[in-house]
Each structure stands twice: as structure tokens, then as C-alpha cells.
Amino acid sequence: GQNIDQPTEMTATEGAIVQINCTYQTSGFNGLFWYQQHAGEAPTFLSYNVLDGLEEKGRFSSFLSRSKGYSYLLLKELQMKDSASYLCAVRDGDYKLSFGAGTTVTVRA
Amino acid sequence: IAGITQAPTSQILAAGRRMTLRCTQDMRHNAMYWYRQDLGLGLRLIHYSNTAGTTGKGEVPDGYSVSRANTDDFPLTLASAVPSQTSVYFCASSDSAGGPGELFFGEGSRLTVL
């Protein structure tokens, strides 16, 4: 199986920046995903990295370092609607996706 | 536009009873998955199917079975429910033909076993 670690909770102020780190150990690697999940809802896809470097998508960016087994999700210009759980997920050599426990981000006014 | 439909949305079940959670997708995705989500543990893979007619075991398969008779449907059966199977169950699908192959999730089925 996979070992995926991310912080349990983070709190930030509206308009600020928050960085959610994710470290992983995997048998084979076929990409790293970030999902957003609002309370009581299904997860929705945010970003995908398979090569080292930064992928930018509007206010959200995701970074990957395969040699370090490390990724982060950067949320800029935080809005109240960004309060949610953010899930780091790694696809292994068998193309199965394993998830971390998730990081709950609370945005305060 | 339906995407992935799960049923039931919520169910309370007596221990020992048999239960089937239904999942149907209309996106013609080749791969389908069942996850359970528990507080503090995140999403854990129960079973998966890479294509119609094939299935595989995930991280927590014990007590569950699946079938994939066609592309669209992927039911999850609990043969004899136990309280530890109380959870939120998510069905998901993905299409590896082009793009990153991200998962699309259903809205979830909340199951309580008493």
C-alpha cells in the first residue's frame, strides 16, 4: 500500500495564502492528484502532477518533487468558499489511487 | 447530465443483513472503484474494476464483493453487514484514454449498521 501524510488541519484568513504539504511513499508512481471535498459532498478533482515542477490553475497551484516524495497545494487569495478538506492522492504502479486522510482548511473572515 | 449515480443515498441496516449499494455511470468510463470514507482515515479503496468483466481487490476488501457485468454498472454487496461497515461509501469512475485519468465521484451512500 501507500503511505501518504498531510496535516490534519490548517486555518487561514480570507485573502491570504495557504500551502498544504503532502509526503508519500509508493510502490511505483503514476501521478499525484489533489481533490477538494466540501463537508457532506463528494470529492472533486483539482490538479494533477506527474512530472516535477509547478502546475498552475488560477488561484490553485500544485508542485511535485518525485525524488523527495513531496507535493504541495498552494491556495492563493483565499475565499470563504475555499473552506473544505483537501485530499492528496497518489496513483501507484498498478494505476490504483490511494488517498491521504485529508487536510481540513478553515478560512476566517 | 447524470455522471455517476449511487443508490441509496442513506440506509440504516441491521447487522447480519445483506445489502447492495448500486452505482451507475453514463460516461462510458472503463474503470470503476468503490471507496469507503471514515473520519480520520480518509478514502480507502475496497474493490475496483479496470474494465467490464474484471474486478480486483483494494486495500479493505474483506466483507465486500463486487461485479462488473457491463461498462455502466458496478454494484457493491455486503453479504452480512457488521457495525464496522458503518461508513460513507463513494463510487467513482475514470477514463484512462487521454487526460490524467482523474476520478469522478458519485454523491456517496451513507450506511449505518446497527
User: Mapped to the 3 state alphabet, what secondary structure does chain B carry?
Assistant: CCCEEEECCEEEECCCCCEEEEEEECCCCCEEEEEEEECCCEEEEEEEECCCCCCEECCCCCCEEECCCCCCECCEEECCCCHHHCEEEEEEEECCCCCCCCCEECCCEEEEEC
Cα distance between residue A39 and residue A104, in whole Å: 10
To probe the interface with B, which of A35, A91, A96 has the most B CB atoms within 10 Å? A96
A23 in Cβ contact with A103 (< 8 Å): no
Range B49-73 average pLDDT:
96
- CB contacts of A99 in chain B (<8 Å) are 35, 42-44
Element (H, E) at A68: none
- B79 touches A at CB < 8 Å: no
pLDDT in tens, chain A (109 residues): 569 999 999 999 999 999 999 999 988 899 999 999 999 999 999 999 999 999 999 999 999 999 999 999 999 999 999 999 999 999 988 888 999 999 999 999 9
The answer on pLDDT for B40 being more than 90 is no
What digits encode the pLDDT tens for the residues B96-106? 766 688 999 99
| Beta carbons of B102 and A42 less than 8 Å apart | no
Predicted local distance difference test score (pLDDT) of residue B97:
66
